[in-house]
Amino acid sequence: MCISWLLQLGLSRRQSLPISCSLTMANAIPPNNTRLLLMIDFDHTIIHDNSDLWIRRLLPEHKVPDEIQQSYKHHESWNQFMGEIFTHMHSLGVTPAQVVDCMHTMTFVPGMVELIEYQRTNAVMDCIVVSDSNSVFINTILDSKDLLSSVTSVFTNPAEFDSKGCLRLRPYHQHNCKTCPSNLCKGAVLRTYLEQQEKQGVTYSRIFLVGDGSNDFCPVPGLGVDDIVFPRQGYRLIRKIQKLLEKGEEQGEDTLKATVFPWDNGFRILEFLLKSTGDKC
């Protein structure tokens, strides 16, 4: 079966049944001592757009000054780039209230509010948001829909307004991954989270990973046979997964153990989770 057809059906290379059939056969509900983990990206996943680009609406003509653009070409650090933009915004008189109001105008991907609300009601599911945005943007947007308390943890670049009202940004962590941005490796975040949870006696029988972009790819090859990766249709993550699968076919290797289930709205993912956990709408 060709890779493009697998991706359309929502299958991994190891499967030969449509996903709706395989769900009825799987041991979807975890044992008493294990849980389910929903790991989800933020920009272009929970929300429609990119919060780092959306904030430019507060700049004159929505444009970043040339000197900041040129600076980025030299250091190539998106985190530093955004920090310079925030400093510039502050110099223009942009207030914290304006930043918050701007974030409140961002829209959610259809079905994502319902997805997050559902996982909160699922007694065996935890939800972590892992994003290269920042804590002010994510917390503000989630709180606008009363969703902040519905997620277990948010892993992102720490941000806060200083005493003068300028938004200050710091990298989430340092890591040794050669493929991820220097400030955040999602593969490392997931591994560390699982290790910390295991020390607390919590293990996960299935991981559901939802994302859209290249920086969501790092954890994907390490997922297990019971895990599901949900790449958004038309975005970079699904193309990287397709290349991984094609490489595996060429080499005769099983390069991806997890099931691939493309999505275009949150309701598709919610329907999958409802079936896989045996819950009802």
Nearest alpha-carbon partner for 253 in 205, 221, 209, 275:
221
Nearest alpha-carbon partner for 147 in 171, 185, 121:
121
Tokens of 31: 């044992």
Q: How far apart are the C-alpha atoms of 277 and 117, rounded to whole Å?
A: 15
What is residue 71's DSSP assignment?
Answer: H
Question: How far from 87 is each of 53, 64, 82, 83, CA to CA, in Å?
Answer: 15, 12, 9, 6
Is 227 among the catalytic positions?
no
Q: How far apart are the C-alpha atoms of 69 and 6, rounded to whole Å?
A: 40
Write phi, then psi, for 167 (nearest 5 degrees): -75, 120
Q: How far apart are the C-alpha atoms of 205 and 196, rounded to whole Å?
A: 16
Is 41 among the catalytic positions?
yes
Q: How far apart are the C-alpha atoms of 72 and 91, rounded to whole Å?
A: 19
Place of tokens 């942009």: 94
Q: Helix and strand tally (H, E) in the chain?
A: 11, 8
Q: How far apart are the C-alpha atoms of 273 and 179, rounded to whole Å?
A: 30
Tokens of 148: 């902040």
Please list the active-site residues. 41, 43
